[in-house]
């Protein structure tokens, strides 16, 4: 809601002449009785003034004393009052319960839902406000409170102003930048918890950790969480744990405490704590106060949680969920293995039923009979062709002789043809001789002798078989090495199959 400037005139109190402004405190409201937001406590109250109608020798009942207090309030306090102070320990809900304080005193306040819904903005801890209402005493709980009808802002409280100024300063320096925040470990082995000794926040952390992942170590570092020296202790704990993280095996630090007023949480708004959180090199999680509370250490931390329980839930995986995930993975792996085995068995069964694998000797005998049949058919075909050619050859010879006799040329033609034949034969012979020489050179270049002349050798074993692999030659074997100009009888001392012919080192 919009804040209006402070008006000193509004702090003088209301008009005491309007006693019927509230009537009966609880008539027609239908609301539960008000509760003090502070939960009691405070300094020792002054000794109450004795009423003129009472006697020291005659004890009063509790009801009688409560009635006297209510009567004193109705006579001594104006029906309408305006009070200026700083909001503290505000607990918004259907109704609003809070405290109003200054440097030396505090008073509990309550505001019913019917009046609360008229406010433009719910006041927060640290707000400086002007409250208009009526003071009353609720006998059943023995509480004296200010019942607020309206609340108007008059400016920021001192702590709230300091908080906002430091937030602006740290934001300018990059303390809240998202890119500097580190992810928290998925499966931490040890977590250091910085919190108050024996606090409810610590109990929540231990209980949640024991339920989610009891195998994770928790290193508890007790510190003051409010009051003088609390900020320095928290900062010193963070820096010490960060420095010893490697030696102690710490994977993350959790800084936490329960709820409270802005003053109660102020240790976590100090610059010394913000600097320690900013300089911390391992992931830092902060959970300070309730979900509606925000502290500077939470803004600087790598992760902010609303409650201590939520912080542990964020840091630790759930062992039950891990067990379920492991069971799912085990099931998928088992099904995949079963499918592979089933498919392999199916292929093996198909191979086992194959005709060749069932009776391989029969299949080989059948193939041999087929080859023998083809050999006999080929031999018969060749013999028949030779017989036919032998029969046909005399007829062809006689026909050729007759044709030659019929077409015998004249002598001059024969001489001319003879000369031409000799010339053609000479040319053909020259060409053939050149081709033979060229082929001979080519054949010689790829022949064994030419290869041997270039420094190669042919290695054979004692059976005359060519040795083609060093890996198949045993030490002590006798070998013959054929060179271009002779042979050598050698014996193998060592076999080195890993050495390549391309290895220039020869090692």
**Residue 444 vs residue 270, higher pLDDT:** 270
b/e string for 377-403 if b means 16 or more Cβ within 10 A? eeeeeeeeeeeeeeeeeeeeeeeeeee
Domains and CATH numbers, the chain: 8-43+60-156 (2.40.50.140), 163-320 (3.40.50.10550), 441-501 (no CATH)
| DSSP single-letter state for residue 268 | G
DSSP secondary-structure letter at 466? B
Parallel, antiparallel or unpaired: strands 284-288 and 252-257 = parallel
pLDDT tier for residue 500 given thresholds of 50, 70 and 90: low
Residues in Cβ contact with 186 at an 8 Å cutoff, skipping those fewer than 6 apart: 317
- Assign 2 to helix, strand or coil: coil
Are 248 and 189 in contact by the 8 Å Cβ rule? The answer is no
pLDDT at 504: 56
The pairing of beta strand 127-138 with beta strand 143-156: antiparallel
Predicted local confidence at residue 36, as pLDDT: 41
pLDDT band at 157 (very low <50, low <70, confident <90, very high): low
Q: Does residue 282 contact residue 250 with C-beta atoms inside 8 Å?
A: yes
What are 123's two structure tokens?
A: 């006041």
DSSP string, 19-38: GGGT-STTTTT-PPPP--TT
Q: In what order do the strands lie in the sheet with 252-257?
A: 217-222, 190-195, 252-257, 284-288, 303-304
In this structure, the number of other CB atoms found within 10 A of the CB of residue 62 comes to: 9
Identify the pLDDT of residue 16.
Answer: 37
The label of the residue with tokens 């002590």 reads 476
Confidence check: pLDDT of 2 > 60: no
The rounded Cα 50 to chain-centroid distance in angstroms is 71
Share of the chain above pLDDT 70, in %: 85
pLDDT (tens digit per residue) in 164-218: 889 999 999 999 998 999 999 988 999 999 999 888 889 999 999 999 889 889 9
Q: How far apart are CA 160 and CA 262, in angstroms?
A: 8
pLDDT for 158 equals: 67
Strand pairing category for 81-91 and 96-101:
antiparallel
Binned at pLDDT 50, 70 and 90, residue 219 comes out as: very high
Structural tokens at position 225:
């969480």
Q: Is the pLDDT of residue 225 over 60?
A: yes
Residues 251-310: pLDDT tens digits? 999 999 988 877 888 899 999 999 999 999 999 999 998 877 789 999 999 999 989 999
- The pTM of the full predicted model, rounded to 2 decimals, is 0.43
Query: In this predicted structure, what is the pLDDT of residue 340?
Result: 92
pLDDT band, residue 129 (cuts 50/70/90): confident
């Amino acid at each position: 809601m919009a804040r209006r400037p402070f008006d000193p005139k509004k702090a003088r109190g209301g008009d005491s002449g309007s006693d019927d402004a509230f009537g009966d405190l609880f008539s027609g409201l239908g609301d539960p009785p008000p509760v003090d937001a502070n939960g009691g406590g405070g300094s020792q109250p002054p000794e109450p003034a004795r009423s003129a109608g009472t006697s020291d020798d005659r004890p009063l009942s509790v009801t009688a004393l409560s009635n006297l207090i209510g009567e004193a309030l109705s006579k001594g306090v104006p029906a309408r009052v305006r009070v200026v102070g700083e909001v503290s320990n505000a607990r918004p809900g259907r109704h609003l319960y809070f405290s109003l304080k200054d440097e030396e005193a505090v008073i509990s306040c309550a505001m019913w839902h019917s009046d609360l819904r008229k406010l433009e903005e719910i006041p927060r801890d640290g707000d400086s406000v002007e409250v208009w209402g009526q003071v009353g005493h609720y006998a059943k709980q023995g509480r004296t409170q200010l019942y607020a009808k309206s609340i108007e802002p008059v400016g920021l409280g001192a702590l709230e102003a300091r908080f906002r100024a430091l937030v602006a300063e740290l934001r300018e320096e990059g303390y809240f930048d998202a890119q500097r925040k580190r992810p928290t470990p998925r499966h931490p082995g040890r977590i250091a918890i910085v919190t108050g000794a024996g606090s409810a926040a610590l109990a929540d952390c231990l209980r949640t950790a024991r339920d989610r992942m009891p195998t994770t170590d928790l290193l508890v570092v007790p510190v003051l969480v409010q009051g003088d020296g609390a900020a320095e202790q928290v900062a010193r704990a963070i820096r010490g744990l960060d420095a010893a993280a490697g030696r102690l095996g710490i994977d993350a630090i959790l800084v936490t405490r329960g709820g409270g007023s802005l003053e109660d949480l102020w240790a976590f708004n100090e610059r010394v704590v913000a600097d320690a959180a900013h300089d911390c090199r391992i992931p830092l999680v902060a959970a300070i106060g309730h979900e509606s509370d925000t502290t500077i250490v939470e803004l600087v931390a790598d992760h902010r949680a609303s409650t201590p329980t939520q912080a542990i839930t964020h840091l630790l995986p759930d062992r039950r969920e891990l067990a379920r995930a492991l069971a799912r993975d085990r099931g998928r792996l088992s099904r995949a293995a079963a499918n592979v085995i089933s498919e392999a068995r199916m292929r093996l069964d198909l191979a086992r039923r194959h005709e060749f694998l069932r009776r391989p000797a029969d299949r080989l005998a059948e193939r041999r009979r087929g080859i023998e049949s083809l050999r006999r058919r080929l031999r018969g075909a060749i013999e028949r062709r030779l017989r036919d050619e032998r029969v046909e050859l005399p007829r062809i010879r006689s026909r050729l002789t007759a044709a030659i006799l019929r077409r015998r040329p004249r002598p001059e033609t024969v001489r001319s043809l003879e000369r031409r034949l000799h010339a053609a034969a000479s040319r053909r012979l020259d060409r053939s001789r050149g081709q033979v020489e060229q082929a001979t050179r080519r054949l010689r270049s790829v022949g064994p002798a030419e290869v041997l002349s270039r420094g190669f050798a042919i290695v054979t074993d004692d059976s005359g078989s060519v040795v083609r692999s060093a890996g198949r030659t045993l030490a002590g074997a006798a070998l013959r090495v054929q060179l271009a100009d002779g042979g050598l009888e050698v014996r193998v001392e060592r076999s080195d199959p890993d050495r390549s012919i391309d290895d220039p080192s020869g090692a």
